[in-house]
A and B are shown apart, each in its own frame.
Chain A
Amino acid sequence: MSGALLHVQNLVAGYGTADILQGVTLEIWPGEMVATVGRNGVGKSTLMKTIIGLLSTRRGSISLKGESITHLRADQRAALGIGYIPQGREIFPELSVEENLMMGETINCAKQSFRYDLVYEYFPILRERRRQVAGTFSGGQQQMLAIGRALVGRPTLLLLDEPSLGIQPSIIQEIGQALLRLNREEELTILLVEQNMRLIEHVAVRAYAMDKGRIVANLTLEMLKDRETLADYLAV
Chain B
Amino acid sequence: MSLGYLVSLLYQYADSIAFLLLAALGLMIILGVVNVINLAHGELIMMGAYITTLTYHRAHLPLPLCMALSTIGVGLFGMLLERFVIRRFYDDKLGALVATWGVSLILSQGTLLVFGPSLESVPLAAWTFSYGRYSFGGYRLLLFVIAIAIVLIAWWVFYHTRLGVRTRATMQNADMARALGVNTRDIYLLTFGVGSALAGLTGALYAPTTTIVPLMGNQFVDVAFITVVVGGGANPIVGALTSAALLSLIATPLSSTLGTFSGRIGLLIAALVVIRFLPRGISGYFQDIRYRRMARGVS
Task: Please give the residue numbers on chain A whose beta carbons come within 8 Å of chain B beta carbons, in ascending order.
Answer: 52-54, 73-75, 78-79, 84, 86, 90, 92-95, 99, 102-109, 132-133, 135-136, 138, 149-150, 153
Contact = CB atoms under 8 A, between A and B. Distances in A.
Contacts of B298: 136
Interface-centre pick from A78, A86, A94, A105 (highest chain B CB count, 10 A)? A94
A54 B175 contact: yes
A92 B182 contact: no
B294 A136 contact: yes
B181 A133 contact: no
12 contacts: A75-B181, A84-B180, A90-B175, A93-B291, A94-B168, A103-B166, A103-B169, A104-B180, A133-B290, A138-B297, A149-B180, A153-B181
A79 B181 CA distance: 6
Contact of B162 (A84, A90, A102): A102
Interface of B: 162, 165-166, 168-169, 172-173, 175-184, 287, 290-291, 293-294, 297-299
B184 A136 contact: no
A150 B176 CA distance: 11
Given A78-B180, A78-B181, A135-B291, A95 B169 contact: yes
Contacts of B166: 103, 106
Contacts of B287: 94
A207 to B, nearest CB: 24
A107 B165 contact: no
A107 B178 CA distance: 10
Given A53-B178, A75-B182, A92-B173, 11 more contacts: A54-B175, A75-B178, A75-B180, A75-B184, A78-B178, A84-B180, A86-B176, A99-B165, A103-B166, A106-B181, A135-B294
Contacts, number: 85
A85 to B, nearest CB: 9
The main secondary structure of chain B at its interface with chain A is helix
Closest CB pairs A-B (n = 8): A106-B181, A78-B181, A135-B294, A136-B299, A74-B178, A90-B176, A84-B179, A92-B169
Contact of B179 (A86, A93, A99, A102): A86
A95 B172 contact: yes
A75 B290 contact: no
A149 B180 CA distance: 9
A107 B299 contact: no
Contact of A107 (B162, B175, B180): B180
B146 to A, nearest CB: 29
Contacts of B297: 136, 138
B179 A135 contact: no
A223 B192 CA distance: 55
Contacts of A135: 290-291, 294
Given A93-B291, A103-B177, A75 B172 contact: no
A53 B183 CA distance: 13
Nearest to B159: A99
Nearest to B168: A95
Given A136-B297, A136-B299, A93 B181 contact: no
A92 B168 contact: yes
B182 A106 contact: yes
Contacts of A99: 165, 168-169
A69 B177 CA distance: 19
A235 B177 CA distance: 33
The residue among B176, B184, B287, B298 with the most chain A CB atoms within 10 A of its own CB is: B176
Given A75-B184, A95-B168, A102-B165, A52 B179 contact: yes
Contact of B183 (A75, A93, A104, A138): A75
Given A92-B168, A95-B165, A103 B182 contact: yes
B173 A90 contact: yes
A45 B168 CA distance: 26
A132 B299 contact: yes
A102 B169 CA distance: 10
A168 to B, nearest CB: 15
A165 to B, nearest CB: 17
A78 B179 contact: yes
B233 to A, nearest CB: 14
Given A92-B169, A95-B172, A106 B293 contact: no
Contacts of B293: 136
A130 to B, nearest CB: 13
Nearest to A84: B179
Contacts of B182: 75, 103, 106
Contacts of B290: 94, 133, 135
